Amino acid sequence: MACVFDPGYGYHVDKTKGIATGNDPQSIYAVMSGTHYNGECCFDYGNSEPDEKDDGCGTMEAIYFGNAHWHGNTGAGKTGPWVGADLEQGMYYGGGNVTKKNDQSKPLPFEFVSLYLRGRTDGFMLKGADATTGLFETMYDGPRPEPKIAGTCGRSGTYQPMRKQGAIILATGGDFSNSAMGKFYEGYMVTGVTTDATDEAVQANIVAVGYKNLPSDPEDTLLSV
């Protein structure tokens, strides 16, 4: 079953248990669509602020998927879509020296896309793949974004250490920015960092599901006007 989000819609769960906070590590998986997206803010799934406000850089950590160019950030190619990390005040396809442009981040234009974000205590990793075949490919693995390169966070803001707050969002940004569109099929978050072997086992399980489009599927939930 797909949740199909048009601009103007999204979920925000503020009261949660067992979600990583502060600089605690976490891992997030999701299956989304690489054919139904836009470049608006923000088609996210992950950890966010419970007050539904922008509480500053590093106060959320969620998978972003689309082709946004926040402050000029980009992956390889011209159109995307790319897997990114929404870390508040920016959706990033890389960090460190590739905060602005990460040529390793390849477009994922598949009907069904497997996505992964590993939020370590000292950096983050992004992976993506076709959800119907093959293995995860690492799109980024390194330090968090550099505010001076990003052009955000003000004079004293930082993405390291993180200040995660433990709310859960879907199809919206931390401050409930919901101009994005997308399709969400499944996802989950775990505390701690998973191993590469675990990630590949998850991808194999996703592939085994056998995702495919069914015309006029009565189980599709359309969240639009």
Inter-residue contact 64 to 43 (CB < 8 Å): yes
**Per-residue pLDDT at 218:** 53
For residue 194, the surrounding DSSP H or E stretch is none
Closest to 26 (Cα-Cα) out of 128, 167, 223: 167
Q: How many residues in total does the chain contain?
A: 225
Catalytic-role residue among 49, 86, 175, 199: 175
Q: Supply the pLDDT for residue 225.
A: 37
Token pair listed for 69: 């160019």
CA angle 70, 99, 134 (to 5 degrees): 90
Three-state SS sequence of 27-79: EEEEEECCCCCCCCCCCEEEEECCCCCCCCCCCCEEEEEECCCHHHCECCCCC
Alpha-carbon distance of 61 to 47, in angstroms, equals: 5
Q: Is 141 a catalytic residue?
A: no
Supply the pLDDT for residue 101: 97
Looking at the chain, list the stretches that DSSP marks H as alpha helix, in order from N- to C-terminal side.
Answer: 147-150, 196-209
Identify the bridge partners of residue 13 per DSSP, sorted by sequence position. Answer: 168
**Closest by CA position to 55, among listed 151, 174, 162:** 174
> 3-223 in CATH: which number?
2.60.120.200
In 3D space, the residue among 44, 35, 34 whose CA is nearest the CA of residue 175 turns out to be 44
Q: What residue spans define the domains of the chain?
A: 3-223
pLDDT at 78: 86
Query: Which pLDDT belongs to residue 162?
Result: 98
Q: How far apart are the first and last CA of the chain?
A: 19
Query: Is residue 220 flagged as an active site residue?
Result: no
The count of other CB atoms within 10 Å of the CB of residue 79 is 10
186: tokens are 């499944």
Angle at 195 between CA 210 and CA 149, to 5 degrees: 100
**What is the number of other CB atoms lying within 10 angstroms of the CB of residue 133?**
10
Number of neighbouring beta carbons within 10 Å of residue 53: 11
Q: Per-residue pLDDT tens, the chain, 225 aa: give them.
A: 789 999 999 999 999 999 999 999 999 999 999 999 999 999 999 999 999 999 999 999 999 999 999 999 999 998 999 999 999 999 999 999 999 999 999 999 999 999 999 999 999 999 999 999 999 999 999 999 999 999 999 877 999 999 999 999 999 999 999 999 999 999 999 999 999 999 999 999 999 999 998 776 555 554 443
Q: Which of 44, 86, 88, 199 is catalytic?
A: 88
Output the pTM of the full model. 0.94
pLDDT at position 128 is 98
